[in-house]
Amino acid sequence: MVDDDEEIRKLLSRYLRSQGYRVSTAASGRELKDRLARSRAGQRPDLIVLDVMLPDGSGVDLCRDIRVSSTIPVILLTALKEDVDRIIGLEIGADDYVGKPFNPRELVARIRAVLRRASKTSAIEPQSARTYRFAGFHCDCETRQIVGQEGVDVPFTAAEFDLLVAFLERPGRVLSREQLLEITQGRALGPYDRSIDVLVSRVRRKLGDAGAFQILKTLRNGGYQLTVRVETDEL
């Protein structure tokens, strides 16, 4: 957990530990970078809770730096007035965000949801034994890999992968933002919540669909629709 407010670090650390989590803290972006650089592969954190406003820079920029070399899930802590930073954070790879002030129970719920999405070995998800082929792509839900048209792996974050699978499981169906948020994150859509729109934009770019919308189609006042043929293999 990265936050420059010592009292917040102490209170949240105590609460998260009471919920069964191992917690380490950092007061700045530099401290987080140093810890990540020194940590071995098996000692890296399962998730980073990252404040947007840090004394040595923006948490959004730090999230972007993390995404260059790591898929560790990131939850941004943002003030309500920082809507632009929140959207940019999602665009560059944050998995979720929580607006300040917040209830610690909400943060724990978000952490659990993101960790579930990031898990590669969960045996309880119905899609875990399936592969999908669509528009020249291959999606393996067991390994959570997307292979492109030339046999090259396409890197997807956990949130992006779950959104794509939601469409692959329901080809041709029009899915509203509310439905997509409930399916992928198990929470209701807020009045200013643009997280689904940002995720769809990121998935489109990675599928080479940006600007064409031939794979994921936008329907005004309706939501989104996967318009290509999907073939499924049961493993």
Q: Which CATH class is domain 126-234?
A: mainly alpha
| Residue in the structure block whose two tokens are 């899915």 | 175
Q: Which CATH architecture has domain 6-118?
A: 3-Layer(aba) Sandwich (3.40)
b/e 36-52 (16+ beta carbons within 10 angstroms → b): beeeeeeeebebbbbbb
For range 41-61, the mean pLDDT: 87
- pTM tops 0.75, yes or no: no
Q: Do domains 6-118 and 126-234 have the same CATH topology?
A: no
pLDDT above 70 for 201: yes
pLDDT above 90 for 13: yes
> pLDDT of 73-85, one tens digit each?
999 988 755 566 6
Say what the pLDDT of residue 157 is: 84
Say what the pLDDT of residue 182 is: 80
CB of 24 closer than 8 Å to CB of 45: yes
Predicted confidence band of residue 144 (pLDDT cuts 50, 70, 90): confident
Segments making up each domain of the chain, as ranges: 6-118, 126-234
